[in-house]
Structure 1
Amino acid sequence: MGNKKQITKKTSPIVTMLRTDYEILVHTYNLFKRSNLDEEDVSFLLGKPNSYYFDLLDPTEKKKLKHEYIPLFVPIFGVSLDAILPETNNADEEVKIKANSKFNKKSIIYKHEVTYADGTVSDEIEWSRKLQKGERSIENKRLTTYINFLVDEGYFLKPRTALYLFIHIKAYYRFEYTVKDIRVSLAKLLRSDLEKAPVLGRKIVNARYTYCRV
């Protein structure tokens, strides 16, 4: 017998949600696909665990979108709020989502059809999710030094979210970096070893990870 890739399929119950909420999910997914970010990057900037972003995005398991996250996507994707909000004017219109998914160790494919209030049914829509593996990341030491400088200057005397730090770095840091670099640098400053204590601590404030000086 050959080594066949194991694929698991799942059919979800029909979900009814506001059309405006669904269209926000669509806009956000399209922005994500056009960006240079991966799921862990977006989850990190939302102040959440690594897999949170696609759990938020998945239309097969929810009936209502968490609107408190919508403004956060503006700086994350570098767009205006109009690029995220829906174009429809009927705030009460609902859609029905019939979905299924298949997944293996590397990816998940979400397929769904949308039935609108007038009875129109969309073509089958496919969203893909690449599952993240624990890959060793190279530290951007210049960025770590800069964040350590911010610690010394008192920037982290009050808790800062990753997104708040990202906005600051985007405005003031003049060298190349990625969101992944920020994640690695913060992780470095959170760790302790035999020679030094951690520079930063992490705690949850208002359901989001924040970082502060220890």
Structure 2
Amino acid sequence: MDGNPSRWIELEDEARKIARNEDDQNLAEFSSQLENQIRSRYPRISQLEAQEITQDVLLRYLKLRDANKLDPDGNPYGYLQSIIRTTVIDRHRRDSRLARYEETLDPARLSFVLGDRNIDDPFHDSGTIHLVQAALSRAVEAKDYTAFRVAVCFLDKSESDGRTPSNRAIADELQVSHTGVAKALKRFRDYVIEISGSV
């Protein structure tokens, strides 16, 4: 698709004004134009996804401006388009990662894996099916893919081996350090605790 169709000239002008810090009072209108372009270029995404992507793009664009990394006399619209592409790709990767582990998030499977845990288990006490599912999703939202992979591996090995796996066993499976596994499990516990306090 044309990177700069005539119907987006107004958006390009507005992007330049915002890069110059001249028109923040019209951010709502800019956001609306941005969302329209995103929905036009990526028709398969839902309205809610388009709104979320728009918010992410706008925040990234303003952060670049506020860090003086946008040249208003250069090509701020090009930066904007690059941010849109990156944000859409990031979201696609996140969604693909969740889809790949759809079986892991299945309540019946989690119920089986979590049925007989001990005190050393990172899911002990607060490890209900709902909380584990929510914590896995929270890890992905935070782009904490190491914690996500470690937690999934923990569940997988618990089921396949019939016992709680050691950190070293998880480290060997994922080719990460023993310390990295311990830190990732600690972060995952924190996600569970955070969610348990908000439900």
TM-score computed with the length of structure 2 as normaliser: 0.26
Higher helix share: 2
Highest CA radius of gyration, 1 or 2? 2
TM-score computed with the length of structure 1 as normaliser: 0.25
Higher relative contact order (CA 8 A, sep 6+): 1
